[in-house]
Amino acid sequence: MLFDYEQETLPREELEALQLRRLQTQCERVYANVPFYRKKFDEAGLKPSEIRSLSDLTNLPFTEKQDLRNHYPFGMFAVPRDQVVRVHASSGTTGRATVVGYTRRDIRNWSELMARSFMLAGANSNDVIHNAYGYGLFTGGLGAHYGAERLGATVIPISGGSTKRQAVLLKDFAPDVICCTPSYALHLHEAAMEAGIDIAKLPLRIGIFGAEPWTDEMRRDVERKMGLKAMDIYGLSEVMGPGVAMECIEAQNGLHIQEDHFLVEIINPETGEILPPGSTGELVITTLTKEAIPLIRYRTKDLTSLDYTPCKCGRTFARMHRLMGRSDDMLIIRGVNVFPSQIESILLETEGLTPHYQLIIKREGTLDTLEVQVEVDEKLFSDAIKNLQRLEGGIQKNIKDFLGVTAKVKLVEPRTIERSAGKAKRIIDQRG
């Protein structure tokens, strides 16, 4: 069953007409209320009233994360502060935090879109939802919480951390759905095993996993270990939070973008040129209904492609391919480009390796070097040293053969790579 049948199955022309109306209103709103946008429109010699078709969007300027940072904390808000009922912020590990705000209506829309996302994933109002996304400035916790309540489900607001206790509560409360990052799901599984709890034997049916890159190999691993269907959810705080796009349980073939609220484009990340449907490039999102902090052509840095062909679930919203990575996570090792996800795929296809790994980038002279540290499982760990060395050589060769990158592979003992309650830290940059 669809959550919002009429909206989610709108014929393309009607959907685009709705998008255009909303885009026009949004442009009027930012022009009137956000000096940053008024200046950008004026510089482009464009008035909001000149937006007459969706393709006119291409005349508008891009917005970037740096623009939000430059207007830290509230300078991009389009409503007076007294209409803002909540703020969230990104962690700001790579610079100043980016702060976003929500009006009452923004929160209502977000809850609605998260409730839709739960239904896309096959959850329903009878479900008990264990929400292990972090509560706080991060959008994961409260975003999933409000959506679960809007759905009418029973939400367990456990947040991230206290992993052993979470394992016990999974057994005692027997939830149907779990929400967390895929790496935390694996961590939880490990802690549960240590406590003698086999999550695969619990009623848990669906995992709503996102907020960090993960591969299909990782999905299969999580599904096998936890005995559930692992569903991919996408979002980013600048644009709303989780629920911008979600896979449907019926086809599980790309993430439906909630196109009645977001207008999407794919561009060449180097030139900014718009790419035709099906091409892989950077996802650019224009918010169509956000009031507190509307964004026009926001460059997400996330790399994906769009699919407009009909989906067997009946929804008409376009689907984005699961993320390939972020353009700023791309490693260039001796002139060869590689994404962490490509290395993850190779690691997880190798028997005896675990999904716990880190990529360490160093500089030797003028060249960058890559070391892949990956944990082996207990069984392999007890093997003779010479077998482990042979395996290291084998993985090194696969990385070279499939990706063209020279990497040093180092197998490490089980449980030596740091676990996280939220997003896993995959890249350790020691270039200084």
Residues that bind ligand DLL (CB under 6 A): 90, 133, 139-140, 210-213, 232-237, 241-242, 300, 302, 323, 326
Query: How far, in whole angstroms, is CA 351 from its chain's centroid?
Result: 27
Identify which of residues 90 and 358 has a Cβ nearer to ligand DLL in the complex.
90
Q: How far is the CB of 323 from ligand DLL (least distance, A)?
A: 4
Identify which of residues 320 and 407 has a Cβ nearer to ligand DLL in the complex.
320
Q: Give the CA radius of gyration of the chain.
A: 22
Q: How far is the CB of 321 from ligand DLL (least distance, A)?
A: 11
Q: How far is the CB of 55 from ligand DLL (least distance, A)?
A: 26
Identify which of residues 326 and 419 has a Cβ nearer to ligand DLL in the complex.
326
Query: How far, in whole angstroms, is CA 301 from its chain's centroid?
Result: 12
Amino acid code (one letter) for 81? R
Q: How far is the CB of 216 from ligand DLL (least distance, A)?
A: 12
Identify which of residues 27 and 144 has a Cβ nearer to ligand DLL in the complex.
144
How many CB atoms are closer than 10 A to CB 16? 16
Identify which of residues 163 and 237 has a Cβ nearer to ligand DLL in the complex.
237
User: What is the DSSP pairing of strand 336-338 with strand 229-236?
Assistant: unpaired
Place of tokens 């939220």: 422
Identify which of residues 27 and 218 has a Cβ nearer to ligand DLL in the complex.
218
Identify which of residues 51 and 222 has a Cβ nearer to ligand DLL in the complex.
222
Q: How far is the CB of 326 from ligand DLL (least distance, A)?
A: 5
Give the C-alpha separation, 315 to 246, whole Å: 12
Identify which of residues 171 and 326 has a Cβ nearer to ligand DLL in the complex.
326
Q: How far is the CB of 290 from ligand DLL (least distance, A)?
A: 15
Identify which of residues 207 and 241 has a Cβ nearer to ligand DLL in the complex.
241
Identify which of residues 48 and 141 has a Cβ nearer to ligand DLL in the complex.
141
Q: How far is the CB of 414 from ligand DLL (least distance, A)?
A: 26
Residue number, nearest CB to ligand DLL: 210
Identify which of residues 233 and 359 has a Cβ nearer to ligand DLL in the complex.
233
Q: How far is the CB of 416 from ligand DLL (least distance, A)?
A: 25
Give the C-alpha separation, 167 to 218, whole Å: 20
Q: How far is the CB of 110 from ligand DLL (least distance, A)?
A: 11
3-state SS of the chain is CCCCHHHHCCCHHHHHHHHHHHHHHHHHHHHHHCHHHHHHHHHCCCCHHHCCCHHHHHHCCCECHHHHHHCCCCCCCCCCHHHCCEEEECCCCCCCCCEEEECHHHHHHHHHHHHHHHHHCCCCCCCEEEECCCCCCCHHHHHHHHHHHHHCCEEECCCCCCHHHHHHHHHHHCCCEEEECHHHHHHHHHHHHHCCCCHHHCCCCEEEEECCCCCHHHHHHHHHHHCCEEEEEEEECCCCEEEEEEECCCCCCCEEECCCCEEEEEECCCCCCECCCCCCEEEEEEECCCCCCCCCCEEEEEEECEECCCCCCCCCCCEECCCCEEHHHCEEECCEEECHHHHHHHHHCCCCEEEEEEEEEEEECCEEEEEEEEEECHHHHCCCHHHHHHHHHHHHHHHHHHHCCCEEEEEECCCCCCCCCCCCCCEEECCC
Q: How far is the CB of 140 from ligand DLL (least distance, A)?
A: 4
Q: How far is the CB of 213 from ligand DLL (least distance, A)?
A: 4
